[in-house]
Chain A
């Protein structure tokens, strides 16, 4: 049973890590957009 849980947890850890990377990228792009807007004013 522990192998089963390990496989399911590993799957969601992989997807979760990728989603966290996407969120981080989104935050960085948002910051760059804000700074572009500030400079263009």
Chain B
């Protein structure tokens, strides 16, 4: 287990370094936007990683509601937390790109607004988990997570079905991304996926140990109370 973690940490560090080099130097410069376009190599993979984490959170939440499995509950908590971190990156890098390209930091465009709503839903999920002391908290959080997950396809497909200011899809159907740029984009996504996996693994272990300590503390209090 420890060896696997170390290998993943090394692979992640190497991939992130290579991905950074490719994003800043290796990728060709875009003709109209210039170097600012390179923000795309951090913005888009962060968004995809956040969506994937929220999807795992959805599956884990449904599993918890069906089986009341503590492992699924921990996985839901961990993926929501790491997903919020990646979603924060999206919401910060987006306006930094928009300022020189659109001339404004923010607009209440459908995709931007839905992404902000998604972030707020998962922040409230984490607040609920952090501050509620009810024994029903995991159930309430799982239900909230299911509603939150409904926003993910809305964010993702909003640029397909609605007229928005956000750039159109650049890969897949109708995409016109230079193959060298697509290559750099996928390297960065692989690097961020490894980072997300590493952080989720660490956070999962931390949560397991935290719950064990809390259980031991409650047991200790019970033994003290019973004399």
Q: Which residues of A come within 8 Å of B, CB atoms?
A: 1, 3-4, 6-8, 10-11, 14-15, 18-19, 22, 25-26, 29, 32-33, 36, 39-40
Contacts and interface: CB of A to CB of B under 8 A. Distances in A.
B92 A10 contact: yes
Nearest to A37: B216
Q: How large is the interface on B (under 10, 10 to 19, 20 to 34, 35 or more residues)?
A: 20 to 34
A5 to B, nearest CB: 9
Contacts of B35: 1, 4
B96 A7 contact: yes
Q: Is the interface of B mostly helix, strand, loop or mixed?
A: helix
Contacts of A25: 206, 210
B206 A29 contact: yes
Contacts of A8: 20, 24, 39, 42
Contacts of A32: 213, 217
Contacts of B210: 25, 29
Q: Is the interface of A mostly helix, strand, loop or mixed?
A: helix
B213 A11 contact: no
B17 to A, nearest CB: 12
A10 B93 contact: yes
A29 B213 contact: yes
Interface stretch (B133-141, B143-151, B156-164, B195-203): B195-203
Contact of A11 (B36, B42, B99, B100): B42
Contact of B99 (A3, A10, A36, A39): A3
A4 B36 contact: yes
Candidate in A1, A4, A10, A22 with the most chain B CB atoms within 10 angstroms: A4
Given A7-B39, A11-B46, A18-B85, A39 B96 contact: no
A22 B39 contact: no
